[in-house]
Amino acid sequence: MQWPTSGTVTSLIGWRTLNGQRKFHAGIDIGTGTGRPNVVAAYGGTVRVARDQGDGYGNKVVIDHGSGWETLYAHLHEIKTAVGASVAKNQLIGVVGNTGHSFGNHLHLEARLRGQTYEALNAAVNRRTGGAIRPGDPINVDFPGLGPAPSAGYFRGLALSPTTGQGFWLVARDGGVFTIGAADFFGSMGGQALNAPVVGIAAHPSGNGYWLVASDGGIFAYGASGFHGSMGGRPLNAPVVGIAAHPSGNGYWLVGADGGIFAYGAAGFHGSMGGRPLNAPVVGIAAHPSGNGYWLVASDGGIFAYGASGFHGSMGGRPLNAPVVGIAAHPSGNGYWLVGADGGIFAYGSAGFYGSAGGVTLRRPVVGVCATRSGAGYWLLAGDGGVFAYGDAPFIGNGLPFEP
């Protein structure tokens, strides 16, 4: 593991007295003075918590690293990730803050093994330098049983070529675009510098182009896909997590993890969850085929329907084996599919169930779902480029050869 931010250690793990009460302090506090530096993941894994749960930690992120290990990052000013996200070591997850039960800007860092505080973390603090640490420096203690840092997965989304229905595009986190089957290549950001990772792709309805979106709201338009605006370079309350094209091809919607909607071109604004409390972060968006509405889905399977988009059911409040990571609309506009990171499928309204990867051993989590033109099938995409085809969705190929 590595240190996740810069600053000076101001408090260690152990018993202490605050306001006359003796309490156990389960983490290491890293003070940052008046500064608010970035916080990165100490190790790769899957985000299990990314919100304020009212427990005194304020805005917090908890990452599951496997083998019983997890890390907690508390009192954040901003959260820059979402539940269910696969993060790599050194990937941005938040900004140091002063939320919850806190007395100044600092990061409260905990390491836990099978739910128990790992007190050996104290030994990693170099008292000879006054506890000063730098991000990226190794945490020099043993973490028994901790395996190699899991990969975050290379691929981030897929989009069907609307004209042929026999090909699709895959997009990677570095903006690389890969064509499978009858889908033409129009350009990519692969090999070019990005301010933020790419998180999604939407096809132009003509099949002659596509848009890519980055987590900072930046838009990259190729082929017939025009540029209608972006959030790149502008402040966001939460990272952008998805994009949906307007059926006219003259606009698109972006959605943030907080449920905020950004509408451009012919894409009208029909409502959002921005500024409203969420039980789990939003992870995806699907446009109504009429262009007069959209659905948002949260990682707990909750559905938010706007405009002409009807509510047909959700997994909100029900137990899940894995977080929901995506949504696809039925071509009739009368239903939708949700997909979990384990490849589980939840079908509502006119959207039929044709199979799932739930229970299948996956090398990387599933990251998205795409419906066939008929609505009688769908494809699932895993983070390693693996593609699973169900119903009338033919198996055309996958991105496995392209994963670095």
Query: Residues of CATH 2.130.10.10 domain(s) within the chain?
Result: 155-402
Edge-to-edge, what's the strand order for the sheet holding 366-371? 366-371, 377-382, 387-391
Whole-number pLDDT of residue 286: 98
Residue 358: Cβ within 10 Å count = 16
Q: Give the position of tokens 């990061």.
A: 107
Per the CB < 8 A criterion, the answer to whether 223 and 236 are in contact is no
3-state secondary structure 78-135: EECCCCCCEECCCCEEEECECCCCCCCCEEEEEEEECCEECHHHHHHCCHHHCCEECC
Whole-number pLDDT of residue 148: 64
Whole-number pLDDT of residue 313: 97
Fold of the 155-402 domain: Methylamine Dehydrogenase; Chain H (2.130.10)
CA 277, CA 23: separation in Å to the nearest integer? Answer: 31
CA 289, CA 60: separation in Å to the nearest integer? Answer: 37
Whole-number pLDDT of residue 262: 98
pLDDT tens-digit profile of 345-397?
A: 999 999 999 999 988 888 888 999 999 999 999 999 999 999 999 999 999 99
Radius of gyration of the chain (CA): 22
Tokens of 175: 């903006």
11: three-class secondary structure by DSSP: strand
Q: What's the start-to-end Cα distance of the chain, in Å?
A: 22
Residue 133 makes CB contacts below 8 A (sequence gap 6+) with: 3, 5, 6, 7, 8, 9, 30, 125, 126
pLDDT tens-digit profile of 255-300?
A: 998 899 999 999 999 999 988 877 777 899 999 999 999 999 998 8
Query: Residues of CATH 2.70.70.10 domain(s) within the chain?
Result: 7-133
CA 182, CA 168: separation in Å to the nearest integer? Answer: 7
- Cα-based distances in Å from 132 to 32, 59, 95: 10, 24, 18
* Phi and psi torsions of 148, nearest 5°: -60, 145
Task: Pick out the chain residues at pLDDT < 50.
Answer: none
Whole-number pLDDT of residue 253: 98
**Overall CATH class of domain 7-133:** mainly beta
Predicted TM-score (pTM) of the model is 0.72
